[in-house]
Structure 1
């Protein structure tokens, strides 16, 4: 079966329709912590800002990222079930994920409650560690809320319901500003108020989306109420959830490790400040390919669940093309204002100059990361989380970090060397995932999807010799 230009354009429209809103959802979600930090920063107390910054970094790495990874298994389960028209199973899988995330939140909460000794063990300042622990303890209620929220977002996303999420997250962000002003400034709760505001905002977001699911006609087929069926086949869910969490955590831990390594370079204050700025810039631009990856994983999982391997392969190709376009645009934009980035984050001449020299490397990282992030979306849509965990482990910890150390400390390239090692890891990821994607038998993937969500294989909608023929 030949796929013509019209089918390609239609697929691109579907993915862009999903990707655009998901970028805004990602921005709004990440804005909660940034807004809280901004209000703490205006307390004119460096210790509080340092404590809140350290705490947010830690609770993301050992907390929110873990839950985000666990819920990513729903990209596969819910997406393929929806494509297979097993609508009630979309809700069952979501309930199962919420249960698992809630249970996982318990040990994570204990770690957060005793954060200070862990940070001191990692050679952090005791006074800063005390403030970080205070922030983490008051943030504990947001842990379970975030775990539930991640699952709800996947539930809606895999059904192509995205605009309600934009509205709910946007409204929550506005309310969060008011909460931060009230709790941090008006009532003088300081760092505790910032953490409490995040908790309230996360739960508000959960309630708004839960009400939408309950009363909207869009979810009547997929949400049929609480069911004991969600307690079944939890080990099957964990087989994808744990590798999903490992995929996410291995990547996020690497970025944190880069900042820690920068502290071992000459003039550590300068190096750490510049690396933190560069990581923040990368994080800002990562939200665009993340939206593309969400759209790609949704379209691929839907088509595999529907038994349409040709359409799934087309979705993967279109997703990569959109990623390439985004990567080019991001590289061009970053380089077009390459002397502005340093001034936007600091008034110190030495920092501004250093950030300017790092900008071409950061721009290259953004370009490569567009492919890497999108290819991980392909992996989630197909259910390759276990493979993805191995790829991330090898890319970051057998290639990326050793090369970062080599470039930074042996070749004396300092911060530029650390980031070059990171780019090397991203390139290895891209090559590995791309080889797997191009060599995939999409007929088999469609049958695997049928077995995963239906218990038996089905006849796919194309003949083997007709597979993967795409004409532009």
Structure 2
């Protein structure tokens, strides 16, 4: 078969190469690569979650009002800021990952700088939203006293918004070149120091809950600083970071074409889970329902850090291989990731099932709460396997630069199928919080099915051509500009 493809000097193409069965050595090699990536990324995800948890735990010792305000502010920040930064930053999974695979290393630094400009610019209007969080929360029907406390906490979190924007850019930059250990070390150092910083800022400075918010900002900026120093001076980044360039100011619309759907893809999913908590407050016995659903979501979020690491590893491997023109290797990466996440999902589900009667005692001694949590754990177990599958498939979507399709899939899965079914089960069939979770499972199943069909119907050789063209266009546009 004749080789096809773009006649560019970027890489030696493999387009048109027959896809035969994979050898044992190829599978083992791919598994090792993903394990090297996923392990540190799982640790990073867990440590980042721990930062917010530590802050809220310290605030909890200041009283119920302070705890409620900090919790509400944290959720508000996640919905209106953090999710947007994560989503927009994930566009670098495509740009940096494919450029690295094509061996156009200097483009990684330019892409990162361009992302920094876009994300920091986005933070400016978001900062005004955070500054007026109290007013917005009251407008949304929240308790005025708690809203005032949450608004104060959110104001002092504004510096962390800008720090998180830069952090996302550095993380994606390093991640795309398979350099994940420094991220794990910097996040580990930051998390350990965060305990001391929180103690000083909350109890010794007299700032109270405001100190916890400032501690978040200090820790975030410490993490960014450590990674920035590594990027600047480490030999491993010598080829990918060549200093600041005016080229980063060019082709911003091209970056936005992926950044905006990337943000939509991430936000649609995160917002739907937050909506479940709001809906639980409308159920009979809302205090019990909200508490149990919040515990269930926190448990799910903590466990999700494992498949999220595999998702990021999949994104890196797929983008690298497509950028190098190796469609066959990109497909192998997806298959290995799917096997790994299903295996891990089954083990995780078994742990949830066998530990369901004990988990509730970590949160309450009331038998009603413990029994309800045990029932929810069974639903979590079923949803966890499906959630892992969609996370890996979402990683493949980001790696191949098809975030627009991913955003449409998430819109349909969560807002056309999941949320309406959750309302139907919870309020029409009177299934309560379990009904809401059935809606979430339905959304996850629909999302996984959509993305699986997309993956199976994909011509990966064409995707490799598109990746090569994307890198080539970036080079030409920067040179022309």
Q: Return the TM-score normalized by structure 1.
A: 0.96
Report the counterpart of residue 318 of structure 1 in structure 2: 336
Residue of 450, 456, 467 corresponding to 1:449: 467
Q: What SS is found at the alignment partner of 2:256?
A: helix
Report the counterpart of residue 35 of structure 2 in structure 1: 16
Q: Is residue 33 of structure 1 aligned with residue 52 of structure 2? A: yes
Which aligned segments of 4 or more residues in structure 1 are displaced greater than 3 angstroms? Answer: none
Q: Is residue 69 of structure 1 aligned with residue 87 of structure 2? A: yes
Written as runs of structure 1 = structure 2, the 5 A alignment for 1:97-116 is: 97-116=115-134
Structure 1 gaps of 5+ residues are 458-472
Q: What SS is found at the alignment partner of 1:12?
A: helix
Report the counterpart of residue 391 of structure 1 in structure 2: 409
Deviation sequence 1:277-313 (CA, Å, 0-9, x none): 0000110111000000010110000000000000011
Deviation sequence 1:53-72 (CA, Å, 0-9, x none): 00000101100110010000
Residue of 332, 336, 353 corresponding to 2:350: 332
Q: What SS is found at the alignment partner of 1:340?
A: helix
Q: Is residue 134 of structure 1 aligned with residue 143 of structure 2? A: no
Cα distance between partner residues in 2 of 1:383 and 1:286 = 23
TM superposition shift of 1:187: 2.1
Q: Is residue 85 of structure 1 aligned with residue 99 of structure 2? A: no
Report the counterpart of residue 435 of structure 1 in structure 2: 453
* Contact 1:282/1:365 (8 A) holds in 2: no
Written as runs of structure 1 = structure 2, the 5 A alignment for 1:45-444 is: 45-444=63-462
Cα distance between partner residues in 2 of 1:345 and 1:452 = 50
State how many pairs are aligned.
456
Q: Return the TM-score normalized by structure 2.
A: 0.94
Q: Is residue 7 of structure 1 aligned with residue 31 of structure 2? A: no
* Contact 1:90/1:155 (8 A) holds in 2: yes
TM superposition shift of 1:347: 2.2
* Contact 1:401/1:422 (8 A) holds in 2: yes
Report the counterpart of residue 462 of structure 1 in structure 2: none
Describe the shift of the 1:237–1:31 C-alpha distance in structure 2 as closer, same or farther (beyond 3 A). Answer: same
TM superposition shift of 1:127: 0.5
TM superposition shift of 1:325: 1.0
* Contact 1:407/1:413 (8 A) holds in 2: yes
TM superposition shift of 1:456: 9.4
Deviation sequence 1:383-411 (CA, Å, 0-9, x none): 11000000000100000000000111111
